[in-house]
């Protein structure tokens, strides 16, 4: 399953970091962060609990880039 979220982040490098962090989160199959359109597309593993996974994604992203935001 795929879902698109709006994000807020200041620099392109930080967007790359968010992408890496999201990819490493459990339950996430793949992720693409688009800095230019400020959107992230997350593909979930089958049967993953989307809301719980996204909470973890947000936590992991905050870890690598403090002032990023994902609008869940």
Residues near another protein, by CB under 8 A = 10-13, 16-17, 32, 34-39, 41, 63-64, 66-67
User: Which CB, 15 or 53, lies closer to another protein?
Assistant: 15
Tell me how far, at minimum, the Cβ of 71 lies from another protein, in Å: 15
Residue 71 to residues 46, 47, 52, Cα–Cα distance (Å):
22, 22, 14
The structure tokens 């490493």 sit at 24
User: Which CB, 19 or 53, lies closer to another protein?
Assistant: 19
* Neighbouring residues of 53: CB distance < 8 A, sequence distance ≥ 6: 25, 26, 27, 28, 42, 44
Tell me how far, at minimum, the Cβ of 40 lies from another protein, in Å: 10
């Amino acid at each position: 399953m795929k879902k698109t979220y709006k994000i807020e982040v200041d620099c392109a490098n930080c967007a790359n970091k968010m992408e890496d962090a999201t990819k490493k989160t459990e339950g996430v199959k793949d992720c693409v962060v688009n800095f230019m359109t400020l959107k992230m597309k997350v593909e979930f593993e089958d049967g993953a609990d989307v809301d719980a996974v996204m909470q973890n994604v947000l936590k992991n992203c905050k870890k690598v880039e403090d002032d990023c935001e994902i609008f869940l």
